[in-house]
Every structure is written in structure tokens, then in C-alpha cells.
Structure 1
């Protein structure tokens, strides 16, 4: 699955292509608040872990493993709700939760940069660490159906486009450009759901 092929004029592999398609399905289902999106997230994250390992994006590789675990938890949250009796509804973060979220992002960034610089041969530890930390936050907020998850994803996805172009993951860069558009759509859709 690692052989090179060309799709839409972009150099890629079968593994990256399948991961791409499953990821688009994941986000499309998530925008519609369909819990089956979590299953697609688990599979696409597993495949992308291999893609990122090959590209020496170790933070992103580890992130995919965490995405698998958070996706299992998120699936349960969406399906059964917090107390097992009521399903989750889209909600906004309180101011204190926003401040905690920013603090978590910064603290995770510092820890990840230290790890990537100390324990790996990553050539982009700052970008990888910052975006991995933001993705962790986005995934957590998504699993709790917090509206602000889409804002985090918009910021992270825009920056990921540049990182993946730099790492010559052209199809994945295109995927994250599509994710920016889908995240804007998700923000609009969930904003309406939050006002009901």
C-alpha cells in the first residue's frame, strides 16, 4: 500500500488515499451529528498513524493513537450521553472552560515540543507539537459536543495545510484544506443546533 500513485495531479500512496476518503466521511457524519462518524474516525486514524510514521511526524502519529482512544470514548458519549440516560446536545463553553482549554493547549504544546526535540528525530517539533496539542483539544471538545471544537479545528487545519505541504504529503494537505471548509460548515450547523 506504500507504492506511489497520482490522484488529482498529487503524488500519494494507497494508504494515504484510503485514509483521506475515510477522514472526509468522518467529518461529514460529525457535522450531521451522526455517531457512526466515530467508527470511521477510528479506522482512518489507525491508517493515518502509519502514514505519519513514514513521514516522521511522530506527534501526529501519536495523536492518531490518541484519536482512536478518544473516538471510542466520544462514540459512547454521543450514543449514551454523560450519565448513560440522555444524549449529548451541542453547547458552548463557559468562560472558565475556554481559559482552561487555552491553558491545556499551551501546556500540551510545551510538553510535546520537549518530547519531540528530546526523543525523536522530528525536523518540525514546534509545528508538530503545536498542532498536535490543538488537535487533542479539538478532539476532546468534539467528543463533548462543544461548539468551540470547530473553531479549534479551523485554526489547526489551516496550519496543517502548510505543514503537510512542507512534508510533501500533498493529498493530506488537500484533505486539511477540505477540512477547513467542512469545519466552517460544522460551526454554522452546530451554531444553529446550539440556539435551539
Structure 2
């Protein structure tokens, strides 16, 4: 499907921009999400549709977060760091509770998803990854890896072969991005406003 191909290509561009810490990652994620809503709706993947609607909303919030962070940095770049143990606990706890809640919803209403637990995992994992990215946390790369572990086979099984192939490419970009952000944490940088909240 053209919407699948175009939306995922823009998604790859968004990931590469995120790796480079470019604020343009957020409009690219917004556009990718808007296009992929149609692709997932035509494949009857409600979890995928919900995920992309979530991507659209979080992209707007992420844009705002990075705008504030960039204004505070003397060189105009986005500071990255590892999460505190408290933040990690909140991310993991939120992912677990969110997956149980969304999975229960999809199970109670079978018309929403033919694969309720996989869709719930992807839906909530995407939210966790994007929130961590917006806060400049290196852990966002790990969250994307965990989402891809389920997203790749689900995309192929749903007939969205291009999405599946893109997720495989995502894996390589995620590994490179993770290394780059990790190396940047070894250099002292200003902390984004609200990052410790």
C-alpha cells in the first residue's frame, strides 16, 4: 500500500532526525503518524491506528519539549542523558499497567483488535518510547527495540510487508542512535527543563 510505504519512509526519516537530535524529528513523526492512520485502518489494525494517533499527539508535545530544551542550551542543541532509577521505574511501571489496561480493553471489545495483547504492547510501548525521547532520555532507544520485537512479526503477519521491512531498518538505526546518544551522555551538557520532574 502506498500509504504504508510513504508513512514508513517518513518515519525512517523522523528516526534519523531524532538520532541527530534535530527538532525536525517531531514534524516528521507527526506527518508519518497522520499517513499511517490510513494504512493501519485499511488493514483493520485498531492498535496500529491508536498508536499512530498517539504518535501525532506526542509529536506535538515532543516538539514543545525540545523547543524549550534547545532555547536553554547555549549551543542550541538538545541535551541527552540516562534516566534516573525513579524515571526508569515510572517508565517500566507505566508500560506494564498501560499494556494491561489497553489489552483488557481490546480483549473486552474484540472489534477493536484481532491481536489485543500485541496491539496493546505496541500502543503503550510507543507512548513510553516517545515520552522518553521528548525528555531526552537514552532509554527511548531501548523502548523502541522492545516495540520492534513485536511490531516486526505483527506487521508481516498483517500483510503490511513494507512496515515489516522498515522495522528491520529501524533496528539498525536504533542501534546506531543508541550508541550516539550514549556517547553524548559522557560529555557534560545542560539538562532540559522539567527533565528531573
Q: How high is the TM-score relative to the length of structure 2? A: 0.88
Deviation at 1:120, TM superposition (A): 4.2
What per-residue deviation string (whole Å, max 9, x for no partner) do you get for residues 42-72 of structure 1? 0010011111111121122112111111111
**Among candidates 133, 140, 153, match of residue 131 of structure 2:** 140
CA contact (8 A) 1:52 1:60 kept: yes
- 1: distance between equivalents of 2:142 and 2:174? 8
**Among candidates 4, 29, 48, match of residue 17 of structure 2:** 29
Q: Which has the higher contact order (CA 8 A, sep 6+)?
A: 2
What per-residue deviation string (whole Å, max 9, x for no partner) do you get for residues 89-124 of structure 1? 101111121111111001100111111122342210
Deviation at 1:75, TM superposition (A): 1.0
Deviation at 1:158, TM superposition (A): 2.5
- 2: distance between equivalents of 1:166 and 1:49? 18
RMSD: 1.5
1:165 and 2:156 matched = yes
Q: Between 73-82 and 132-141, report the one with greater CA deviation.
A: 73-82
Number of the residue aligned with 2:105? 115
Q: State the SS of the aligned residue for 2:153.
A: helix
Deviation at 1:36, TM superposition (A): 0.7
Deviation at 1:37, TM superposition (A): 1.3
Q: How high is the TM-score relative to the length of structure 1? A: 0.88
Number of the residue aligned with 1:174? 165
1:95 and 2:101 matched = no
| Structure 1: 5+ residue stretches without partners | 1-12
Runs (4+) of structure 1 exceeding 6 A deviation are none
CA contact (8 A) 1:77 1:88 kept: no
| Structure 2: 5+ residue stretches without partners | 188-197
Deviation at 1:88, TM superposition (A): 4.2
Number of the residue aligned with 1:65? 53
Task: Name the structure where strand makes up a greater proportion of residues.
Answer: 1
Number of the residue aligned with 2:29? 41
